[in-house]
A and B are shown apart, each in its own frame.
Chain A
Amino acid sequence: MKKAFLVLASLYSTTVLAKKDLPPRQINLTATKSRELTSLSTPEIADKQAILAVIDTYIEGLKSGRVDLLKKVFYKDAIMYGFSEENKITEGSVQHLYDIIEKNGALVNVTSKNTIQHQTSNTASVLAELKNTSPNQNSTDYLSLMKINGEWKIISKVYHLSYAN
Chain B
Amino acid sequence: MSANKNNNLIADYDAILAVAQVYVEGLKTGNVDLLKQTFHPDGLMAGFMPDGKLTTKLQFLFDFTEENGEAADVKAHVSILHKTETAAVVLVELEDLQGGVGSTDYLSFLKINGDWKALSKVFNLYWGR
User: Which residues of the other chain, A, contact B119 by a CB distance below 8 angstroms?
Assistant: 79, 81, 156, 158
Name the distance in Å between A160's Cβ and chain B's nearest Cβ.
Answer: 4
Name the distance in Å between A144's Cβ and chain B's nearest Cβ.
Answer: 4
Name the distance in Å between B79's Cβ and chain A's nearest Cβ.
Answer: 9
Chain B facing A: main interface SS: strand
User: Which residues of the other chain, A, contact B46 by a CB distance below 8 angstroms?
Assistant: 75, 144, 146, 155-156
A109-165 interface with B by 8 A CB criterion: 117-118, 120-123, 125, 127, 140, 142, 144-146, 148, 155-156, 158-160, 162
Name the distance in Å between B77's Cβ and chain A's nearest Cβ.
Answer: 12
A interface with B by C-beta (< 8 Å): 1, 4, 75, 77, 79, 81-83, 87, 89, 91-92, 117-118, 120-123, 125, 127, 140, 142, 144-146, 148, 155-156, 158-160, 162
Contact between B81 and A117, CB atoms less than 8 A apart: yes
- Interface flag for B86 (CB, 8 Å): yes
Chain A facing B: main interface SS: strand
Bound-state CA distance A148–B46 (Å) is 11
Known contacts: A81-B119, A120-B104, A123-B104. The answer to whether A160 contacts B47 by CB under 8 A is no
Known contacts: A120-B104, A125-B89, A142-B82. The answer to whether A83 contacts B110 by CB under 8 A is yes
User: Which residues of the other chain, A, contact B89 by a CB distance below 8 angstroms?
Assistant: 117, 125, 127, 142, 144, 158
- Interface flag for B68 (CB, 8 Å): no
Q: Which of B43, B100, B124 has the most CB of A within 10 A?
A: B124
Chain A to chain B contacts (Cβ below 8 Å), 22 pairs:
A75-B56, A77-B56, A79-B42, A79-B120, A82-B86, A82-B87, A91-B42, A117-B91, A120-B104, A121-B124, A123-B122, A125-B106, A140-B84, A142-B89, A144-B120, A155-B56, A156-B44, A156-B108, A158-B110, A158-B119, A158-B120, A160-B87
